[in-house]
Amino acid sequence: MRVLVIGKHGQLARELAAVVEDKAAKEKEAKEKGAEEVEVNESRAPADVQLLCLGRADVDILQPATLAAAVDAFDPEVMINASGYTQVDKAETDIAQAFAINETAVANMAKIAAKRGIRFIHVSSDYVFDGDSRARYGVGDAPKPLNVYGASKLAGELALARIIPPDTAMATIVRSSWVYSQYGNNFVNTMLGLMQQKTELAVVADQVGCPTYARGLAEFIWRLTQLDRLEPIYHWCDLGQASWHEFAVAIQETALELGLLPRAISITPISSEQYPSAAKRPHFSVLDVSGSLAIMAGTPWREQLNIMLSALAGKRQQ
């Protein structure tokens, strides 16, 4: 299976590649040891996958002709859009660029995929919802974004649905939330940095979502590539829910246990009003992933956080 990932250096793209690399390493180890197969739970990438990840230096996703040429050169069976404009606050003033990356580029990819019969997987966000729900958001709930970033992500979803109709089963939207990994700028890495620099932090406690380890999201997406038919929308995040404050506290507790932090600091819960930001954020954006659990079992978010931080601690000890 030839799979093209748009987005090379982002945390999701790097984890998509890491799943394939880990599978190859385990297969090599198994072969050397004479084992017949690799542990199933350790290998969620399809067999014989050929993966190509393209970044900004490789292709301009806003130029349809150059994008089409890059796609044709590889001739993929599946295309995954792991790129996106993700700076939520900056988007409030950088509106044109947010919509260019999150809507126009998605439309460009969708047109290319539709014309060539390529299955297309597009990643979106919990921020397409307004947070007024008292229950987890299901795939059929009506989006109503509160900020420019969310509006741009919804625009991308709608563009995809217009170009590749849902009843074709050739494209899907995967919404996720609060994604983090060892790589790049995300809440976990930001908190670890601040916890080493400061003696106290104030973190918002009235916004609730679900932290999602990018590795798990990548594994779920790899599972989708192996399906014969794609549903229009899937939700994927780790199990459970937390406020940003609860997430920060868990990061500190786990990091201390693993020796990633020298000492504990005070983490004070505050309201959104006490932490003004350019973009308004939903107070509750937990996604209902029940429909996705038949495809891949979920893991509680605290366990995933421990797995990610343990891997980070292992790298630092090398």
Q: Distance from CA of residue 45 to its chain's centroid?
A: 16
Distance CA 110, CA 201 (A): 43
Catalytic (active site) residue 180: no
* Cβ(85)–Cβ(97) below 8 Å: yes
* Cβ(293)–Cβ(145) below 8 Å: no
CA dist 51 → 105, 189, 243 (Å): 21, 27, 36
First to last CA, the chain: 34
- For residues 121, 127, 130 and 131, what is the CA-based torsion angle, rounded to 10 degrees? 110
Would you call 241 exposed, middle or buried from its count of C-beta atoms within 10 A (0-12, 13-18, 19+)?
A: buried
Distance CA 118, CA 104 (A): 18
Distance CA 266, CA 224 (A): 42
Can you read off the two tokens belonging to residue 259? 């020796």
Q: How many of the other CB atoms lie within 10 Å of CB of 293?
A: 12
Can you read off the two tokens belonging to residue 68? 């089409």
Q: For residue 24, which phi and psi values (nearest 5 degrees)? A: -65, -40
* Cβ(127)–Cβ(282) below 8 Å: yes
Q: Which of 137, 149, 180, 213 is catalytic?
A: 149
The conformation of residue 113, written as its DSSP 8-state character, comes to H
Q: Which residues are catalytic?
A: 149
